[in-house]
Amino acid sequence: MNAHVLLIECPDRTGLVYDITRSLAEKQLNIIANGEFVEHDTGRFFMRTELEGDVQADELVASLRRVLPAEARIKLEPPRKKRIVVLVTKEAHCIGDILVRCQFDEMNAELLAVVGNRDRLRPLAEQAGYPFHLVPHEGLSREEHEDKVIEVVASYNPDLVVLAKYMRILTPKMVSTFKDRMVNIHHSFLPAFIGANPYRQAYERGVKIIGATAHFVTDNLDEGPIIAQDVIHVHHQYSPKKMAMAGRNVEKHVLNRALYLVLEDRVMISGNKTIIFE
Q: Which residues are catalytic?
A: 222
DSSP class of 169 = P
Is 278 one of the binding residues for a second copy (CB under 8 A)?
A: yes
Among 14, 71, 169, 196, binds a second copy (CB under 8 A): 14
Is 205 one of the binding residues for a second copy (CB under 8 A)?
A: yes
DSSP class of 231 = E
Taking the complex as a whole, how short is the minimal distance between the CB of residue 261 and a second copy, in angstroms?
Answer: 11
Check: CB of residue 32 under 8 Å from CB of residue 51: yes
Please state, as a whole number, how many other Cβ atoms lie within 10 Å of the Cβ of residue 43. Answer: 10
Among 69, 172, 195, 206, binds a second copy (CB under 8 A): 206
Window 129-148: residues binding a second copy (CB under 8 A): 129
Among 34, 63, 89, 177, binds a second copy (CB under 8 A): 34
Is 192 one of the binding residues for a second copy (CB under 8 A)?
A: yes
Question: Which one, 110 or 222, has the nearer CB to a second copy?
Answer: 222
Is 167 one of the binding residues for a second copy (CB under 8 A)?
A: no
DSSP class of 93 = H
Beta-bridge partners for 10: 45
- Chain centre distance of CA 86: 11
Question: Which one, 171 or 199, has the nearer CB to a second copy?
Answer: 199
Question: Which one, 103 or 177, has the nearer CB to a second copy?
Answer: 103
Please state, as a whole number, how many other Cβ atoms lie within 10 Å of the Cβ of residue 216. Answer: 22
Check: CB of residue 164 under 8 Å from CB of residue 88: yes
Window 218-277: residues binding a second copy (CB under 8 A): 225-231, 235-237, 239, 245, 248-249, 253, 256, 270, 272-276
Question: Which one, 31 or 61, has the nearer CB to a second copy?
Answer: 31
Is 185 one of the binding residues for a second copy (CB under 8 A)?
A: no
Window 42-101: residues binding a second copy (CB under 8 A): 53, 92-93, 96-97, 99-101
Question: Which one, 121 or 149, has the nearer CB to a second copy?
Answer: 121
Check: CB of residue 69 under 8 Å from CB of residue 14: no
Taking the complex as a whole, how short is the minimal distance between the CB of residue 197 and a second copy, in angstroms?
Answer: 14
- Please tell me the distance from the alpha carbon of residue 158 to that of residue 83, in angstroms, as a whole number: 5
Cis peptide before 136 (omega within 30 of 0): no
- Which of 61, 58, 78, 60 has its CA nearest to residue 3? 78
